[in-house]
């Protein structure tokens, strides 16, 4: 059977394109101590059947039951990491000359490209269920996938992309139930949302609002008995995952409701932040500015197509009011509940906690895109294309440079970052800092190609005041990939002097997949 006769749906081509692009541009390493701790928990579950950390004085560790050290983070991300740890452990036996840590971290970095590609597929499916054409659905998914902060975070090992997939999957299951009346979809949606809560506790906000949307559909169109069955199908899985969260608290801290983040209870942090937020009109205005317009965190700067949100929501409201209300209520509720001071992340590309909101903010754009395609609005089309191009440029800067270089640019390495300076001073905007670094990285990468990795590493070790043997130690050479090369796995692997076939072979496969799938997507768009 010839390949071109295989029945491959537009959604699958979309997934293949997104996945291949994400894997081409992934980092191949961990990005923070948070991720390292979650990985150690995964390793502990597999190797020791325990939830404790092997090192007592690690950053962010939290003391718990019996004086042992535990992770302060929810369990979901660590569970997701388990099969990738097992994969890395097996690969380490096949390549004994490569450090075990390097292989494990590389496998961990494969999680979020997959999660984000599936998220694009789910967003495409939601658009199709709402009645939009294949072209409109593909364009909407691609805008989310490559013109928003979703792309830079797809290459990281943070938990936000995983949680985003879970809550968007919950919306998909809910809408699929409303269209088919099959409770299995509600159950699957509840499982997805529940696992999202197990991954990030903030996803309980999504669970609450999605439940409200479900109640609207049930009360409006179903008899009382069927409505009760629907609520059970949705609520039981979420409740079971909630019990898992409480059980994990009990294992760690000997208390069911001992929600902790680092060394302080989450409830205390939320309460303090929310009191400031809710008690002051000024706090609401300042918080809204931070998250929407600030040079360091503003989502409109880091996801430019969202500048069309007002016009998109007007069209989306007319055709899909219940979902539109949900998409509008979600960011408002999220900000009001969490509070402005608590939600702000320090070293990130824009606001990291807004990653999970992004597909719900992009979804209304489907109505605008449909209007542009159907009515051929020249002005709106040019405006959207301009913002899409700008979004691609912004994300290209985000995926090329490691976010943590901001610390050194600010001249406060090893110190607490001034969040106000990072948020409001344009001089320290990540977009500007990454743009400044981009040209320098081109020159450094050329030096690596010409001089070779050994000479490059040695010269920068001397420049940094470091002496010693040049080896494959991932820890000692991490700064070199972080500060002097583009933040891509193939740059990282070349610097670590891995065999060229390990770079060229997967690179060729990924590029071929991206080309073939991208060509098919263009073909779908060209169809009348």
pLDDT at 497: 77
Rounded alpha-carbon distances, angstroms, from residue 227 to 194, 239, 492: 20, 18, 54
Helix (H/G/I), strand (E/B), else coil: 102? helix
**396's tokens:** 């290209």
The DSSP symbol for 259 reads -
CA atoms within 13 A on the CB side of 50: 10
Q: How far is it, in rounded angstroms, from Cα 391 to Cα 521?
A: 20
Closest CA to 434 of 347, 493, 353: 347
Name the phi and psi angles at 262, rounded to 5.
60, -120
What is the tally of helices (H) and strands (E) in the chain? Answer: 27, 4
Closest CA to 104 of 74, 72, 82, 76: 82
Q: Where would I find the H helices in 347-409?
A: 358-362, 365-375, 378-400, 405-409
Which residues face 69 on adjacent strands?
A: 63
Q: How far is it, in rounded angstroms, from Cα 13 to Cα 38?
A: 32
- Beta strands 260-261; 264-265: pairing state: antiparallel
Q: Where would I find the H helices in 200-223?
A: 204-221
Helix (H/G/I), strand (E/B), else coil: 52? strand
Q: How far is it, in rounded angstroms, from Cα 170 to Cα 93?
A: 39
Helix (H/G/I), strand (E/B), else coil: 70? strand
Helix (H/G/I), strand (E/B), else coil: 57? coil
Max intra-chain CA distance, the chain: 75
What is the pLDDT tens value at each position of the chain, 528 positions in all? 343 444 568 999 999 999 999 999 999 888 888 888 999 999 999 999 988 888 755 666 777 777 788 888 999 999 999 999 999 999 988 888 788 888 999 999 999 999 999 999 999 999 999 999 999 999 999 999 999 999 999 998 899 999 999 999 999 999 999 999 899 999 999 999 999 999 999 899 999 999 999 999 998 877 777 788 989 999 999 999 999 999 998 988 888 877 755 444 444 344 444 444 444 566 667 777 778 888 888 899 999 999 999 999 999 999 999 999 999 999 888 777 655 444 456 667 888 888 999 999 999 999 999 988 877 667 888 999 999 999 999 999 999 988 877 666 665 444 455 666 777 778 888 888 888 888 878 877 777 777 777 777 666 654 444 444 444 444 455 566 666 788 899 988 887 778 888 899 999 999 999 999 999 998 887 654
Q: How far is it, in rounded angstroms, from Cα 202 to Cα 513?
A: 36
**Contact criterion met (CB below 8 Å) for 496 and 472:** yes
Q: How many residues does the chain have?
A: 528
Rounded alpha-carbon distances, angstroms, from residue 167 to 179, 195, 338, 365, 415: 19, 9, 17, 19, 35
pLDDT at 253: 84
Quickly tell me which residue has 């010693």 as its tokens: 468
pLDDT at 418: 63
Closest CA to 206 of 170, 173, 235, 241: 170
Q: Apex CA 393: angle with CA 34 and CA 33, to 5°?
A: 10
Q: Model pTM?
A: 0.90
Residue 128: other Cβ atoms inside 10 A: 17
Secondary structure percentages of the chain, helix, strand, coil, to 5: 75, 0, 25
């Amino acid at each position: 059977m010839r390949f071109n006769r295989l029945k491959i749906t537009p959604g699958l081509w979309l997934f293949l394109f997104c996945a291949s692009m994400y894997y081409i541009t992934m980092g191949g390493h961990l990005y923070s101590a948070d991720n390292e701790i979650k990985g150690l928990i995964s390793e502990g579950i597999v190797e020791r059947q325990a939830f404790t950390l092997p090192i007592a004085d690690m950053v962010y560790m939290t003391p718990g039951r019996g004086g042992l050290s535990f992770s302060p983070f929810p369990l979901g991300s660590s569970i997701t990491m388990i099969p990738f740890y097992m994969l890395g452990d097996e690969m380490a036996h096949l390549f004994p000359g490569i450090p075990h840590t390097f292989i494990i971290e590389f496998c961990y970095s494969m999680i979020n490209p997959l999660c984000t590609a599936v998220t694009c597929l789910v967003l495409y499916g939601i658009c199709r269920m709402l009645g939009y054409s294949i072209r409109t659905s593909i364009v909407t998914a691609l805008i989310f996938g490559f013109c928003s902060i979703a792309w830079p975070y797809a290459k990281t090992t943070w938990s936000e992309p995983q949680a985003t997939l879970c809550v968007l999957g919950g919306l998909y299951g809910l809408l699929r139930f409303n269209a088919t009346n099959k409770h299995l979809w509600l159950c699957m949606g509840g499982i997805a949302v529940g696992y999202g809560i197990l991954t990030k506790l903030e996803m309980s906000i999504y669970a609450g609002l999605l439940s409200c949307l479900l109640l609207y559909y049930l009360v409006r169109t179903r008899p009382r008995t069927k409505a009760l069955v629907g609520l059970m199908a949705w609520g039981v899985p979420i409740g079971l995952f909630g019990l898992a969260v409480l059980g994990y608290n009990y294992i760690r801290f000997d208390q069911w409701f001992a929600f902790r983040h680092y060394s302080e209870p989450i409830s205390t942090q939320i309460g303090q932040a929310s009191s400031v937020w809710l008690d002051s009109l000024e706090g609401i205005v300042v918080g809204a500015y931070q998250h929407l317009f600030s040079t360091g965190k503003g989502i409109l700067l880091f996801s430019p197509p969202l500048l069309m949100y007002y016009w998109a929501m007007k069209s989306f409201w007319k055709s899909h009011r219940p979902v539109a209300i949900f998409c509008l209520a979600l960011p408002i509720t999220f900000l009001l509940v969490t509070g402005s001071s608590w939600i702000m992340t320090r070293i990130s590309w824009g606001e990291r906690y807004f990653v999970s909101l992004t597909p719900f903010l992009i979804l209304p754009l489907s109505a605008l895109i449909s209007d542009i395609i159907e009515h051929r609005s020249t002005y709106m089309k040019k405006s959207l294309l301009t913002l899409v191009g700008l979004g691609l440029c912004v994300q290209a800067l985000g995926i090329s440079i490691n976010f943590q270089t901001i610390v050194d640019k600010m001249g406060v390495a090893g110190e607490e970052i001034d969040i106000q300076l990072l948020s409001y001073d344009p001089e320290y905007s990540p977009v500007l800092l990454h743009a400044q670094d981009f040209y320098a990285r081109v020159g450094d990468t050329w030096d690596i190609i010409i001089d070779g990795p050994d000479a490059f590493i040695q010269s920068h070790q001397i420049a940094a005041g470091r002496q010693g043997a040049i080896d494959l130690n991932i820890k000692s050479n991490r700064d070199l990939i972080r500060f002097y090369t583009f933040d891509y796995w193939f740059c990282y692997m070349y610097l670590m002097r891995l065999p060229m076939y390990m770079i060229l072979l997967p690179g060729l496969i990924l590029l071929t997949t991206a080309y073939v799938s991208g060509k098919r997507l263009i073909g779908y768009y060209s169809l009348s």
